[in-house]
Amino acid sequence: MRIFRRAADLTDHRLKLDNQGLSAGFVPTMGALHEGHISLVNAAKASSDFVIVSIFVNPTQFNNKEDLAKYPVTLEKDLIMLEAAGCDMVFVPSVEEIYPAGYQAPHYALGRLEQLLEGAYRPGHFQGVCQVVHRLLDITQPTHLYMGQKDLQQCMVIRRLLELTGIQTQLVILPTKREATGLAMSSRNMRLSEAERVHAQLLYQVLSDTLLQYKLGGDIDRLEADGAGRLQDAGFTVDYLKIADAETLEAPVAGHKAAVLVAAALGSVRLIDNVIEA
Ligand code: AMP
């Protein structure tokens, strides 16, 4: 496994492989890796000639500086996990490597996606996500890009980024890896206390119950209020619990797949999760 710190070195290497007709699967991450990330690496390995993973905590997507300062960093362990998973190239850039002097952030026309759900609670977040993914795609030039359904709205934003830029990379969205308790794996779970981790299981239970009740014809407003109420009673601060169209995240439409999405904090740890109709 080769580790690259400079963008130019990685691009040079990538172009050599491209000249040999080899495909590249790319998995962007912010590190503090867990089995969810590794499931993306495994999927990339299964369908690409080689796999590139980036580890970069992108400052421009954090609207809350405290959240950025507290983001877990476990580089040594991450590299061991990636080596064991058979990753070929790891990109660990500095902030200056991604945003060199003179970098001008484009504005990405994300439309409603930027106003709904996470967009409303994290102003500027999705512009930051687009900035970093756009830079990383330019540097790594992957055939396929692997992302997790755990961040459903982010997947939709990146699909839009690909449309807006005309970049030919294929987006592959993979299911959420969960603990045996149902808790979605997340780097942020490391910051939960043991007691909070037990409480956090309720997120998936509420999501699953809400989706089931919705499929049985329950009233949307009432289901959203009941689900949020259950979480609040258990000590969560709920930003939103929404039933939405799984493709657009707007109000659900009969005959389309629905999703239930949640963002809620336990103490200072904000968690997001979602489930989609089968
Ligand atoms: P992050 O390091 O949190 O920015 O996540 C990097 C990628 O891993 C994103 O595409 C996430 O959606 C994905 N990811 C995070 N958690 C999970 C999970 N539990 N299962 C599957 N993919 C995940």
pLDDT score recorded for residue 145: 98
Strands (E), 42-200: 50-55, 89-91, 144-148, 170-174
Counting atoms of ligand 1 from 1, which one is nearest the CA of 178? 19
Residues 106-158: pLDDT tens digits? 999 999 999 999 999 999 999 999 999 999 999 999 999 999 999 999 999 99
Catalytic (active-site) positions? 37
pTM of the full structure:
0.97
User: What is the whole-number distance in angstroms between the Cα of residue 186 and the centre of ligand 1?
Assistant: 7
Counting atoms of ligand 1 from 1, which one is nearest the CA of 27? 7
Counting atoms of ligand 1 from 1, which one is nearest the CA of 149? 12
CB of 187 closer than 6 A to ligand 1? yes
- In eight-state DSSP terms, residue 177 is P
Counting atoms of ligand 1 from 1, which one is nearest the CA of 150? 12
Residues 41-75: pLDDT tens digits? 999 999 999 999 999 999 999 989 999 999 999 99
Tally helices (H) and strands (E) across the chain. Answer: 10, 9
β-pairing, 24-29 vs 50-55, is parallel
CB of 147 closer than 6 A to ligand 1? yes
β-pairing, 237-245 vs 258-266, is antiparallel
CA atoms of 269 and 11, how far apart (whole Å)? 36
Residues 150-193: pLDDT tens digits? 999 999 999 999 999 999 999 999 999 999 999 999 999 999 99
User: What is the whole-number distance in angstroms between the Cα of residue 238 and the centre of ligand 1?
Assistant: 21
pLDDT score recorded for residue 71: 96
Mutate to test the pocket of ligand 1, among 37, 38, 62 (most ligand atoms within 8 A of CB): 37
pLDDT score recorded for residue 155: 98
CB of 176 closer than 6 A to ligand 1? yes
For 174, other C-beta atoms within 10 Å of its C-beta total: 18
Q: Hey, which residues does 273 pair with through a beta bridge?
A: 262
CB of 150 closer than 6 A to ligand 1? yes
pLDDT score recorded for residue 269: 95
User: What is the whole-number distance in angstroms between the Cα of residue 78 and the centre of ligand 1?
Assistant: 14
pLDDT score recorded for residue 122: 96
Q: Where do we find the tokens 């999760």?
A: 273
